[in-house]
């Protein structure tokens, strides 16, 4: 069943698009508030764990010497990776005129913005002295001292903050015409708020002309960031000298992984949302299957990267690399390595089967597996390389403790909490772009 | 460019100085300067007082560094004949005895209910005198205290009722000497003059008689090419240090050993009658007697006993028989105990007097005839305590002035003419040492061989004084509890070493709780499965398992003093694994961190400098100095003195057992110990080690990754670390291939008065910042200030970091690498020189000299 055929049958007019999509913003029922409450409670527990850590010191966590980075940095990279889908789906696919993005890009962008917000907490959480984190900002400190521009951590600050700024702008800009629709359909203070957010949008020809230009410009600005952010995050590792980290494949490998995990997270969110809000007509199985195909590709890229890592470790004849990769495959964390290979490469290759691709239970199941697998990918990279570096006397095994697990859970809750709030406050599907998919209202089509 | 860089460094300096105050949370409300400072004291300048170490009977000379009236560090007295400048780990920890938070603060008297209650000095003295009078003739039990205190005790109770009690008294050796040579004295061992040293179960580098002096002597002998052989059932630290370890029963080996026809032979026996007699005859055959083994001087241990049984009225002076000789005080009717700490003996006593620790006391000690060591207080007492001598004078109603005057009068007899100058000189020198007439062991008897206990089936138990705690008296020092045992790497515990075969038979794995039973009792402790102990033997270190010895020692490990050496049984109790050992892998995995060579020195030219410039950045320029260090692994004995010295100098916090288990030990230097098998088949287990500390790389991976320049390169080649600039990303530690950086995972608090020990020249770090070895930068700064005042450049040897100062074997050399004539630069050019992970192009400033395993 074709895409436009569905729309044509179910959605005859622009008005019904507006009506159906604004429906998602109707006052919520009890289960929604219950879910909010649960998520807020888990997020608060994570906050409590952080407060204990702030008071007592990082020692309450499982990180120690020599594994000084553990769950926190793993989670940071995980969320930055998740944040990739949004820009990819909205900007890159927009520039390539991939039509299936229209139905899901709003959610994907929301995922991006909230994931970067969540990710941004983790460098703070993992710092020994977060109260002086502002020293990483590029301004004259202590009589003229700038941060060390040779440190990848400073690049991280720029990369992530730029990415957040551009993504948030893009997210908001894409929403302006829809906010105007919401404004027109609301009364009282809501009208005022949405009116302000809509920035005086009238839908005039001139506005559309400028708007489209700005949108293309922003998309063009955002596209290189898809490559740069995760390349730079990967340099946190690739620029160091640790075996398993110091490798040139990291930037493309990390970008592919990020897109992989981002798509999986979007699928994880969009599939239940589509069901709950009755958006099946807008987000069709066709759209989901397209995402699945994309995940086949990113999964294959990752599989290739894993193989190259092991091959180069063997081929280089570098004893440190060889020992490390042998350890990854057969050592204390071998289970995690095989788990991530299964989740990230083998599971998405099931999408080669058409039935799997079009089945929402399979889709959501495999997406969840990819989410788990991508977390463990970063975990294995970080923990094994630190725990098994050059000096055998300083080899060690890392086990997270309750604050790390709590803060990880809290971050998940924080992210979904933001998304849940977003789903009730803003239109989750782009009305104006869905309308672009509709046939023009002409006599021909009415017939 | 250059100017900017200098400005930048200046700013860093100002920033660090300005932020120092912010590093410690608990700043005092007001700082009040001295209105009239004491004479000879200049604020900010250290005063040094020479005294004598009393942590074991060896009697090493110390220098106590005093700042603003407080001792914060002790170092070896370089002029002293016993130790010549080195101090062992236990000596370094003497300051932790001084500032121990569990010191007794008032006299204690047992009340009617049988509980010890605080009392005034008058009440306690009255109670003690009455109690002693009621209980009959007074016996005084003390450690080896040859000198004024011994004289004083003997004036009171007479020589017959004074027992010199030392848990490790080497009676078997003295008895064998009496039987063979007619001299019942410990021998003076001239290691430095030996060419082949054969040790039969004698752990001369750990606790044996005078380990610091012996380590120095052996290092000197090795520089002249001497070889070292160890025979015994355990690969002890000393055995591991030897060129060859002959595993087996040292009693058998000693009887059959054929000495080579060679000058400079020296055999040393452990404290066992069969071995000692065999070794005496061996030394005699090899012509070592009166050459490398001499009897010119008597030892302070000569009258000592390790078997103690007393009754009636007993006064125990600063020793702990209730711990090391269980039941020895059971027959005593009334016990008075003089001790700086609560001990098992104070718990058994009726009256307890708190006395000064050695660093607060006047006294003297004569470890060997003619070596008169002086003790003087380096600071005013921390608590309301008294000199042991003064307490004895009052208890015995002796007609003597205060102890200090008594001591002085005794010394007047040594040198009556021009006494005041002699006294002042002796105090400055740390004592007075005189030549003694030669005493030859001429008479050689051939006594019948002592009957060895028949070999029984089952396990043979060996107990040995532990390197960190000796006979238990050092167990209440947190630094020593946290110092990993060099062989097992265990902290805060005791263990029983068992061979893998025996362990498998009993189903025991490392860390399991086991019960060891002998004819005289049993203890429970953790098992350590060790390939370095011969099958059929098990070994337990002494010194742990205190019940009443302060917060650091009580309840830690098990006390093996009640166990008889010999046949024993072992039984698995539980599979819990609570033994905490530092260190990841026991093997080097081919990474050549601790290198040993068997090739003889060729004397050829050193290998060409392998390091070449591979950097996008211009090379570092050094103004005047590039500091570097050379560590001679052929001299290093793995004794751990440098590690404890570093704790004392650099205000390193003690983490505790749980935190060490989690990988949070804070020591800036660590001993990395690796096992390996020899190259020849059937060669026994070998142990190699190295000291790992910040390598102060010229091309440092830590510096580039720090986002805020907390890690930076200074003009003298040091990798600076600015604590108050550090935000705690830990990236520097992740990027250090040597894993030399330590992170403050917690805010470490020191219980009062332990905080008095803190070195005022070194910042106390707050939680969340990174720290590491600084090459004792405070000492560099101090030396440069001194040189600037004297209008000269620093000379080689002007700066000595704490680790190098402490090293008994003088294995660590520090200096300016840019000066080709300096000792460190010469060492770096040696044939044996190597740098760890050189292939990473980090260009470290620490050079190691590989160990030689000489063919015997």
Cα dihedral: B148, B153, B155, B158 (round 10): -130
**pLDDT attached to residue A427:** 87
Of A129, A320, A396, the CB nearest to B663: A396
Task: Determine the average pLDDT of the residues in A55-80.
Answer: 93
- Residue A40 belongs to a domain with what CATH number? 1.20.1630.10
Tell me, yes or no, whether A344 lies in a domain.
yes
String of DSSP letters for B269-318: E-S-HHHHHHHHHHHHHTT-BTTTEE-SS-BTTTT-BS-----EEEEEES
CB B495 within 8 A of CB B525: yes
Tell me, yes or no, whether A191 lies in a domain.
no
Which residues have C-beta within 8 Å of that of residue B41, sequence separation ≥ 6? B47, B68, B69
**pLDDT attached to residue B702:** 93
Considering the domain architecture, whether residues B325 and B263 belong to the same structural domain is answered as no
Peptide bond between residue A66 and the one before it cis (omega within 30 degrees of 0) = yes
Separation between Cα atoms, residue B779 and residue B762, nearest integer Å: 10
CA–CA min distance A236, chain B (Å):
9
CA–CA min distance A145, chain B (Å):
7
Separation between Cα atoms, residue B328 and residue B318, nearest integer Å: 16
Q: Which residue of B has its CA nearest to A386?
A: B734
Tell me, yes or no, whether B132 lies in a domain.
yes
Tell me, yes or no, whether A211 lies in a domain.
no
Enter the tokens of residue A310. Answer: 């092991």
- Residue B196 belongs to a domain with what CATH number? 3.40.228.10
- Residue-wise pLDDT tens digits, A391-404: 999 999 999 999 99
For chain B, the average pLDDT equals 88
Q: Is the pLDDT of residue A138 over 80?
A: yes
Tell me, yes or no, whether A261 lies in a domain.
yes
Predicted-complex ipTM score: 0.91
Considering the domain architecture, whether residues B332 and B387 belong to the same structural domain is answered as yes
Separation between Cα atoms, residue A325 and residue B521, nearest integer Å: 51
In sequence order, the β-bridge partners of residue B529 are B498
Peptide bond between residue B753 and the one before it cis (omega within 30 degrees of 0) = yes
Considering the domain architecture, whether residues B356 and B476 belong to the same structural domain is answered as no
Separation between Cα atoms, residue B593 and residue A218, nearest integer Å: 54
CB A124 within 8 A of CB A161: no
Residue with tokens 């052989």: B229
Separation between Cα atoms, residue A266 and residue A112, nearest integer Å: 9
* Rg value, chain A, Cα: 23
Weakest-pLDDT range from A83-92, B233-242, B482-491, B780-789: A83-92
Which residues have C-beta within 8 Å of that of residue A96, sequence separation ≥ 6? none
Separation between Cα atoms, residue A123 and residue A116, nearest integer Å: 12
CB B781 within 8 A of CB B787: no
Q: Which residue of A has its CA nearest to B730?
A: A68
User: Which of A384, A379, A404, A410 has the alpha carbon at shortest distance from A59?
Assistant: A404
CB A385 within 8 A of CB A245: yes
In sequence order, the β-bridge partners of residue B142 are B164, B317
CA–CA min distance B271, chain A (Å):
34
Considering the domain architecture, whether residues B501 and B411 belong to the same structural domain is answered as no
- Residue-wise pLDDT tens digits, B749-765: 899 899 999 999 999 99
- Residue-wise pLDDT tens digits, B554-581: 999 999 998 888 888 899 998 888 899 9
* Beta-carbon pairs below 8 A across chains A and B: 171
Helix axis angle, A334-341 to A360-387, nearest 10°: 150
Distances (CA, A) of B698 to B705, B711, B799: 15, 13, 20
Higher pLDDT, B645 or A436: B645
Tell me which chain B residues have a C-beta less than 8 angstroms from the C-beta of A67: 663
B56-84 residues labelled b (16+ CB within 10 A) or e (exposed) = bbbbbbbbbbbbbebbbbbbbbeebbbbb
B451-455: list long-range contacts, CB under 8 Å, 24+ apart.
Answer: B452/B251, B452/B273, B452/B274, B453/B566
Tell me, yes or no, whether A213 lies in a domain.
no
Confidence of residue A280 (pLDDT cuts 50, 70, 90): confident
The verdict on a CB contact (< 8 Å) between B704 and A150 is: yes
**pLDDT attached to residue B456:** 67
Considering the domain architecture, whether residues B157 and B188 belong to the same structural domain is answered as no
Of B275, B294, B313, the residue at which a domain comes to its end is B294
Instruction: State whether residue A369 sits within 8 Å of chain B by CB.
Output: no
Q: Is the pLDDT of residue B682 over 90?
A: no
- Residue B663 belongs to a domain with what CATH number? 3.30.70.20
**pLDDT attached to residue A358:** 92
**pLDDT attached to residue B198:** 93
Separation between Cα atoms, residue A394 and residue B729, nearest integer Å: 19
Residue with tokens 């709590």: A406
Q: Which residue of B has its CA nearest to A156?
A: B707
In a mutational test of the B interface, the residue from A54, A60, A65 whose CB has the highest number of chain B CBs within 10 Å is A65
CB B732 within 8 A of CB B770: yes
Of A144, A147, A396, the CB nearest to B708: A147
Backbone angles phi, psi at B243, to 5 degrees: -70, -35
Considering the domain architecture, whether residues B712 and B770 belong to the same structural domain is answered as yes
In a mutational test of the A interface, the residue from B667, B676, B745, B838 whose CB has the highest number of chain A CBs within 10 Å is B745
Tell me, yes or no, whether A402 lies in a domain.
yes
Enter the tokens of residue B713. Answer: 């390169």
∠ CA B634-B639-B645, nearest 5°, is: 110
- Residue B403 belongs to a domain with what CATH number? 3.40.50.740
Instruction: State whether residue A278 sits within 8 Å of chain B by CB.
Output: no
Tell me which chain A residues have a C-beta less than 8 angstroms from the C-beta of B734: 66, 68-69, 240, 242, 386
Q: Is the pLDDT of residue A182 over 50?
A: yes
Tell me, yes or no, whether B614 lies in a domain.
no
Q: Is the pLDDT of residue A330 over 50?
A: yes
Query: What does the longest C-alpha to C-alpha distance in chain B come to?
Result: 86
Q: Identify the three-state secondary structure at position B337.
A: strand
Enter the tokens of residue A103. Answer: 């139905």
Q: Is the pLDDT of residue B508 over 80?
A: yes
Tell me, yes or no, whether B21 lies in a domain.
no
Considering the domain architecture, whether residues B399 and B510 belong to the same structural domain is answered as no
Tell me, yes or no, whether A445 lies in a domain.
no
- Residue-wise pLDDT tens digits, B424-460: 999 999 999 999 888 887 767 777 777 666 666 788 9
Considering the domain architecture, whether residues B216 and B364 belong to the same structural domain is answered as no
Of B574, B594, B615, the residue at which a domain comes to its end is B574
Tell me which chain B residues have a C-beta less than 8 angstroms from the C-beta of A135: 707-708, 725, 727
Helix spans in B25-142 (H): 89-92, 94-98, 121-135
Q: Which residue of B has its CA nearest to A239?
A: B705
In sequence order, the β-bridge partners of residue B431 are B373
Tell me, yes or no, whether B94 lies in a domain.
no
User: Which of B40, B757, B48, B89 has the alpha carbon at shortest distance from B430?
Assistant: B48
Q: Where are the beta strands (DSSP E) in B530-594?
A: 537-542, 566-574
Q: Identify the three-state secondary structure at position A110.
A: helix
Distances (CA, A) of A163 to A87, A156, A190, A265: 9, 10, 30, 18
What's the domain range around A42?
Answer: 3-168+220-440
Tell me which chain B residues have a C-beta less than 8 angstroms from the C-beta of A391: 591, 593, 672, 692, 737-739
Separation between Cα atoms, residue B466 and residue B91, nearest integer Å: 14
Considering the domain architecture, whether residues B242 and B120 belong to the same structural domain is answered as no
**pLDDT attached to residue B18:** 42
Tell me, yes or no, whether A180 lies in a domain.
no
Residue with tokens 């055929």: A5
Q: Is the pLDDT of residue A111 over 70?
A: yes
Of B539, B556, B574, the residue at which a domain comes to its end is B574
Higher pLDDT, B812 or B623: B812
Task: Give Cα B274 to chain centroid, integer Å.
Answer: 29
The verdict on a CB contact (< 8 Å) between A148 and B704 is: yes
Enter the tokens of residue A174. Answer: 């894409």
Sign, CA dihedral B655-B661-B662-B664, equals: positive
**pLDDT attached to residue B20:** 43
Separation between Cα atoms, residue B822 and residue A394, nearest integer Å: 33
What's the domain range around B348?
Answer: 108-168+303-433
In a mutational test of the A interface, the residue from B20, B670, B730 whose CB has the highest number of chain A CBs within 10 Å is B730
Sign, CA dihedral B411-B417-B419-B421, equals: negative
Cα dihedral: B805, B808, B812, B813 (round 10): 60
Considering its fold, how many domains does chain A have in total? Answer: 1
- Residue-wise pLDDT tens digits, B151-161: 999 999 999 99
Of A65, A133, A392, the CB nearest to B743: A65
In a mutational test of the B interface, the residue from A53, A62, A68 whose CB has the highest number of chain B CBs within 10 Å is A68
Separation between Cα atoms, residue B203 and residue B542, nearest integer Å: 14
Task: Determine the average pLDDT of the residues in A209-236.
Answer: 90
Which residues have C-beta within 8 Å of that of residue B13, sequence separation ≥ 6? none
Separation between Cα atoms, residue B730 and residue B93, nearest integer Å: 30
Q: Is the pLDDT of residue A377 over 90?
A: yes
Helix spans in B398-499 (H): 403-414, 419-429, 478-482
Considering its fold, how many domains does chain B have in total? Answer: 4
CA–CA min distance B222, chain A (Å):
28
Distances (CA, A) of B555 to A33, B187, B233, B465, B543: 54, 37, 29, 18, 12
Helix spans in B148-210 (H): 148-157, 171-181
Tell me, yes or no, whether B599 lies in a domain.
no
The verdict on a CB contact (< 8 Å) between B15 and A142 is: yes
Considering the domain architecture, whether residues B776 and B714 belong to the same structural domain is answered as yes
**pLDDT attached to residue B32:** 63
Within a 10 A sphere around the Cβ of A182, how many other Cβ atoms?
24
The verdict on a CB contact (< 8 Å) between A390 and B706 is: no
Considering the domain architecture, whether residues B265 and B152 belong to the same structural domain is answered as no
**pLDDT attached to residue A352:** 94
Instruction: State whether residue A332 sits within 8 Å of chain B by CB.
Output: no
CA–CA min distance B448, chain A (Å):
50
The verdict on a CB contact (< 8 Å) between B727 and A128 is: yes
Of B587, B729, B737, the CB nearest to A390: B737
Tell me, yes or no, whether B52 lies in a domain.
no
Distances (CA, A) of B624 to A316, B252, B820, B823, B843: 41, 59, 13, 16, 19
CB B378 within 8 A of CB B359: yes
Tell me, yes or no, whether B245 lies in a domain.
yes
Which residues have C-beta within 8 Å of that of residue A369, sequence separation ≥ 6? A342, A343, A347
CA–CA min distance A87, chain B (Å):
28
Considering the domain architecture, whether residues B634 and B780 belong to the same structural domain is answered as yes
CA–CA min distance A369, chain B (Å):
30
**pLDDT attached to residue B606:** 55
- Residue-wise pLDDT tens digits, B299-322: 999 989 988 888 889 999 999 999
Of A133, A157, A242, the CB nearest to B734: A242
Separation between Cα atoms, residue B85 and residue B220, nearest integer Å: 14
Tell me which chain B residues have a C-beta less than 8 angstroms from the C-beta of A58: 728, 743, 745, 767-768
Tell me, yes or no, whether B438 lies in a domain.
no
Sign, CA dihedral B462-B465-B466-B472, equals: positive
């Amino acid at each position: 069943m074709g895409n436009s055929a569905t729309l044509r049958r179910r959605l005859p007019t622009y008005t019904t698009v507006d009506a159906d999509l604004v429906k998602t913003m109707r006052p919520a029922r009890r289960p929604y508030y219950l879910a909010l409450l649960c998520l807020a409670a888990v997020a608060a527990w994570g906050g409590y764990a952080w407060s204990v850590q702030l008071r007592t010191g990082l020692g309450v966590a499982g990180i120690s010497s020599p594994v000084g980075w553990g769950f926190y940095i793993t989670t940071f990279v995980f969320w930055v990776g998740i944040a990739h889908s949004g820009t990819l789906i909205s900007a890159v696919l927009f520039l390539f005129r991939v039509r299936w993005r229209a139905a899901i890009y709003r959610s994907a962008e929301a995922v991006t913005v909230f994931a970067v917000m969540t990710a941004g907490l983790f460098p703070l959480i993992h710092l020994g002295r977060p109260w002086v984190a502002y020293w990483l900002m590029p301004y004259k400190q202590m009589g003229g001292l700038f941060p060390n521009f040779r440190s990848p951590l400073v690049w991280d600050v720029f990369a992530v903050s730029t990415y957040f700024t551009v993504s948030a702008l893009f997210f908001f800009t894409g929403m302006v015409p829809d906010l105007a629709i919401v404004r027109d359909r609301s009364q009282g203070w809501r009208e005022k708020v949405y009116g302000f957010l809509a920035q005086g949008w009238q839908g005039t020809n001139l506005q559309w002309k400028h708007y489209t230009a700005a949108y293309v410009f922003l998309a063009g600005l955002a596209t290189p960031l898809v490559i740069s952010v995760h390349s730079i995050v990967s340099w946190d590792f690739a620029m160091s000298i640790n075996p398993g980290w110091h490798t040139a494949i990291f930037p493309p490998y990390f970008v592919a992984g990020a897109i992989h995990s981002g798509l999986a997270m979007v699928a994880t969110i969009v599939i239940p949302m589509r069901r709950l809000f009755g958006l099946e007509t807008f987000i069709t199985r066709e759209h989901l299957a397209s995402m699945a195909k994309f995940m086949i590709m990113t999964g294959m890229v990752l599989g290739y990267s894993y193989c190259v890592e092991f091959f180069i470790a063997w081929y280089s004849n570098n004893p440190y690399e060889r020992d490390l990769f042998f350890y990854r495959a057969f050592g204390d964390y071998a289970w995690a390595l095989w788990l991530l290979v299964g989740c990230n490469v083998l599971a998405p290759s099931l999408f080669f089967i058409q039935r799997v691709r079009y089945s929402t239970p399979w889709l959501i199941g495999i997406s969840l597996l990819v989410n788990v697998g991508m977390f463990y990918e970063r975990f294995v990279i970080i923990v094994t390389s630190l725990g098994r570096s050059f000096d055998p006397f300083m080899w060690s095994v890392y086990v997270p403790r309750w604050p790390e697990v709590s803060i990880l859970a809290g971050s998940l809750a924080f992210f979904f909490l933001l998304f849940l709030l977003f789903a009730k406050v803003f239109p989750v599907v782009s009305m104006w772009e869905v309308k672009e998919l509709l046939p023009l209202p002409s006599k021909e089509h009415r017939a | 460019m250059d100017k900017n860089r200098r400005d930048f460094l200046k700013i860093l300096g100002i920033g660090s100085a300005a932020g120092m105050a912010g590093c410690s949370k608990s700043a005092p409300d007001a700082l009040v300067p001295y209105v009239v400072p004491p004479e000879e004291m200049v604020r900010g300048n250290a005063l040094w007082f020479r005294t004598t170490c009393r942590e074991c009977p060896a009697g090493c000379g110390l220098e106590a560094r005093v700042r603003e009236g407080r001792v914060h560090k002790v170092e070896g007295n370089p002029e002293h004949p016993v130790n010549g400048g080195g101090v062992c780990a236990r000596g370094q920890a003497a300051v932790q005895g001084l500032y121990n938070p569990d010191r007794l603060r008032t006299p204690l008297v047992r009340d009617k209910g049988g509980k010890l209650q605080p009392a005034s000095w008058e009440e306690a003295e009255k109670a003690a005198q009455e109690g002693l009078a009621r209980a009959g003739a007074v016996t005084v039990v003390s450690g080896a205290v040859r000198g004024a205190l011994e004289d004083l005790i003997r004036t009171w109770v007479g020589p017959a009722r004074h027992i010199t009690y030392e848990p490790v008294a080497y009676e078997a050796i003295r008895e064998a000497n009496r039987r063979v040579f007619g001299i019942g004295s410990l021998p003076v061992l001239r290691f430095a003059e030996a060419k082949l040293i054969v040790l039969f179960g004698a752990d001369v580098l750990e606790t044996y008689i005078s380990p610091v002096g012996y380590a120095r002597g052996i290092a000197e002998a090795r520089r002249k090419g001497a070889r070292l052989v160890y025979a015994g059932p355990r690969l002890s630290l000393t055995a591991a240090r030897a060129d060859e370890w002959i595993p087996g029963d040292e009693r058998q080996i000693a009887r059959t050993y054929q000495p080579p026809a060679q000058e400079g032979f020296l055999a040393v026996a452990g404290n066992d009658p069969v071995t000692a007699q065999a070794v005496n005859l061996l030394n005699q055959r090899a012509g070592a007697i009166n050459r490398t083994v001499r009897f010119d001087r008597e030892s302070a241990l000569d009258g000592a006993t390790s078997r103690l049984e007393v009754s009636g009225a007993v006064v125990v002076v600063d020793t702990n028989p209730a711990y090391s000789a269980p039941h020895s005080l059971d027959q005593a009717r009334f016990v008075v105990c003089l001790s700086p700490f609560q001990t098992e003996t104070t718990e058994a006593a009726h009256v307890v007097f708190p006395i000064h620790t050695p660093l607060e006391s006047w006294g003297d000690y004569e470890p060997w005839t003619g070596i008169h060591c002086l003790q003087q207080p380096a600071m005013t007492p921390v608590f309301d305590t008294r000199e042991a001598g003064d307490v004895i004078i009052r208890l015995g109603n002796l007609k003597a002035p205060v102890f200090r005057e008594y001591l002085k009068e005794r010394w007047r007899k040594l040198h009556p003419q021009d006494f005041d100058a002699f006294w002042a000189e002796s105090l400055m020198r740390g004592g007075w040492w005189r030549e003694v007439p030669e005493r030859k062991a001429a008479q050689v008897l051939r006594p019948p061989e002592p009957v060895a206990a028949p070999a029984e089936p089952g396990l043979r138990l060996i107990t040995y004084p532990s390197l960190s705690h000796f006979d238990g008296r050092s167990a209440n020092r947190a630094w020593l509890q946290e110092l990993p045992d060099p062989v097992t790497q265990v902290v805060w515990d005791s263990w029983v070493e068992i061979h893998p075969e025996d362990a498998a038979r009993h189903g025991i794995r490392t860390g399991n709780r086991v019960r060891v039973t002998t004819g005289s009792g049993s203890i429970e402790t953790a098992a350590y499965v060790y390939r370095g102990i011969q099958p059929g033997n098990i070994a337990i270190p002494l010194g742990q398992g205190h019940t009443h010895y302060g917060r650091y020692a009580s309840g830690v490990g098990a006390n093996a003093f009640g166990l008889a050496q010999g046949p024993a049984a072992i039984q698995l109790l539980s599979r819990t694994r609570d033994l905490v050992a530092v260190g990841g892998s026991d093997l080097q995995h081919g990474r050549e961190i601790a290198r040993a060579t068997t090739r003889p020195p060729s004397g050829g030219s050193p290998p060409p400098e392998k390091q070449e410039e591979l950097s996008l950045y211009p090379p570092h320029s050094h103004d005047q100095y590039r500091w570097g260090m050379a560590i001679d692994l052929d001299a290093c004995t793995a004794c751990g003195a440098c590690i404890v010295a570093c704790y004392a100098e650099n205000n390193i916090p003690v983490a505790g057992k749980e935190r060490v288990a989690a990988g949070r030990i804070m020591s800036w230097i660590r001993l990395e110990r690796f096992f390996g098998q020899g190259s020849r088949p059937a060669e026994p287990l070998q142990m190699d080690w190295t000291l790992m500390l910040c390598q102060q790389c010229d091309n440092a991976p830590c510096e580039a990754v720090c986002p805020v320049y907390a890690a930076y390169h200074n003009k003298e080649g040091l990798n600076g670390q600015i604590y108050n600039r550090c935000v705690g990303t830990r990236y520097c530690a992740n990027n250090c291939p040597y894993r030399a950086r330590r992170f403050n995972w917690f805010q470490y608090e020191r219980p009062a008065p332990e905080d008095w020990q803190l070195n005022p020249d070194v910042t106390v770090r707050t939680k969340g910042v990174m720290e590491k070895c600084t090459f004792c930068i405070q000492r560099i700064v101090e030396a440069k200030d001194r040189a600037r005042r004297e209008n000269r450049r620093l000379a080689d040897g002007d700066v000595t970091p704490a680790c190098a100062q402490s090293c008994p074997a003088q294995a660590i050399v520090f200096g300016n690498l840019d000066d080709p004539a300096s000792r460190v630069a010469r060492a770096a050019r040696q044939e044996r020189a190597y740098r760890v992970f050189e292939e990473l192009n980090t260009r470290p400033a620490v050079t190691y000299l590989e160990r030689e395993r000489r063919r015997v």
